[in-house]
Amino acid sequence: MKQIHSIEEFNSILEEKSPAFLLKHSTTCPVSQAAYEEYESFTSSNSSVPAYFLTVQDARPVSNHVAEEYHIKHESPQAILFLNKDVVWHASHWKITEDSLAKAVSENS
């Protein structure tokens, strides 16, 4: 799991990795912390799917870019699965679980 900070990093990931997960995480929200822990647990046991995260407080331009470019209303926390440079799945808040992430990969790979 790697943190991203710029739109250029994000675009580079989509060029190189497919599928790939992105988690939008807020450092001030307890729900986001719970989602982050689920995401972290999923990524530690599923290293075949590249996983990235951004902290919305530190990478607001990237977060906004993803929302605008892919027409996904911004939420935090929010997990997004990209495949072939397109969004194939996304979830927010309590719907981000280790199981939901695994299911998203199995249904979209």
Enter the pTM of the model.
0.95
The arithmetic mean of pLDDT across residues 6-13, rounded, is 96
CA–CA gap between residue 49 and residue 5 (Å, rounded):
20
pLDDT digit string (tens) for 84-108? 999 999 999 999 999 999 999 999 9
The domain locations on the chain are 1-103
Residue 109 has pLDDT above 80, yes or no: no
Q: What's the fold here for domain 1-103? A: Glutaredoxin (3.40.30)
